[in-house]
């Protein structure tokens, strides 16, 4: 991506004679896809869908009644969804080497997701106190996660609309500028220092607009509660 951005910037600079324009194009090619098509929301949804599937499998193993929660997690690592396979394998290894609760807390820290914290809290309570009802809790958690993923997919489609509109506007502006540069001398005044300063101002305004669009359409984060409180220890 960096090489493509650099190449686009050089081409724009050479074609227009605008050094600031070349820099703006390079920055846009590099940062634009990240701002207009953020991958974070998709990754979170994929991970939560995988988490729901793993929870369902874990509940099934516990319902079968063969071994405790530590053994069930170890066996679930063999069939964990691809998006979580490495994390679950690491969790199973840590349970054997450092114990269930520290391993579960480390698992929550690795994924850094409030939904994972909720799952881990349920598992830690079972490890500490025992008792029945964990299977039902896990099954309910899996259903809730799948419902959240479906709702988030709908929200992400809504978020994509203003991003698409900005791409269309940017394309119209780019075509207009290229047409004016190729077919008239209306933009020749922007080749000097003062003109380049104005091009820079416009580029900054565009960058601010893209950053604002990204901020307004970013997905909400699920707050964590199993965190390391440096003053008071783990909670």
What does the pLDDT profile of the chain (235 residues) look like in tens digits?
A: 678 778 888 888 787 788 888 888 888 888 777 776 666 677 888 888 999 999 999 999 988 876 788 899 999 998 899 999 999 999 999 999 999 999 999 999 999 888 899 899 989 988 887 767 888 999 999 999 899 888 888 877 787 787 788 788 878 888 887 787 777 777 778 888 888 898 899 889 888 888 887 777 776 667 778 776 433 445 5
Using alpha carbons, list the distances in angstroms from residue 87 to 66, 105, 219. 23, 12, 23
Find, among 208, 212, 218, the residue nearest to 27 by Cα: 208
DSSP tag of 190: G
Neighbouring residues of 162: CB distance < 8 A, sequence distance ≥ 6:
213, 216, 217
CA nearest neighbour of 126 among 58, 53, 196, 68: 68
The number of angstroms, rounded, from the C-alpha of 37 to the middle of its chain's C-alpha atoms is: 10
pLDDT of residue 161: 81
216-227: burial string, b at 16+ Cβ within 10 Å, e else: ebeeeebebebe
Given this model, what pLDDT does residue 39 score?
62
Per-residue CA distances from 61 to 26, 64, 108 (Å):
53, 5, 21
Tokens of 213: 């669009």
CA distance 185 to 7: 26
Q: What is the dihedral of CA 138, 142, 143, 149, to 10 degrees?
A: 150
Provide the residue ranges of all domains of the chain, joining segments of one domain with +: 10-40+152-216, 41-151
pLDDT at 66: 64
């Amino acid at each position: 991506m960096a090489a493509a951005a650099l190449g686009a910037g050089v081409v724009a600079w050479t074609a227009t004679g605008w050094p600031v324009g070349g820099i703006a194009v390079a920055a846009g090619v590099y940062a634009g896809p990240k701002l207009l098509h953020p991958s974070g929301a998709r990754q979170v949804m994929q991970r939560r869908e995988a988490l729901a599937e793993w929870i369902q499998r874990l509940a099934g193993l516990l319902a079968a009644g063969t071994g405790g929660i530590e053994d069930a997690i170890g066996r679930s690592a063999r069939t964990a969804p691809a998006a979580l396979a490495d994390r679950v394998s690491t969790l199973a290894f840590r349970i054997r080497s450092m114990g269930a609760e520290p391993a579960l807390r480390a698992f929550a820290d690795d994924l850094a997701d409030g939904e994972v914290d909720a799952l881990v809290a349920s598992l830690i309570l079972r490890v500490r106190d025992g008792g029945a009802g964990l299977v039902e809790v896990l099954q309910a958690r899996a259903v809730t996660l799948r419902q959240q993923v479906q709702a988030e997919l709908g929200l992400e489609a809504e978020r994509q609309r203003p991003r698409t509109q900005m791409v269309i506007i940017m394309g119209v502006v780019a075509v207009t500028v290229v047409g004016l540069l190729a077919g008239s001398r209306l933009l020749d005044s922007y080749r000097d220092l003062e003109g380049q300063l104005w091009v820079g101002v416009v580029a900054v305004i565009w960058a601010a607009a893209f950053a604002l669009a990204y901020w307004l359409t970013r997905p909400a984060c699920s707050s964590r509660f199993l965190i390391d409180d440096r003053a008071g220890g783990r909670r």
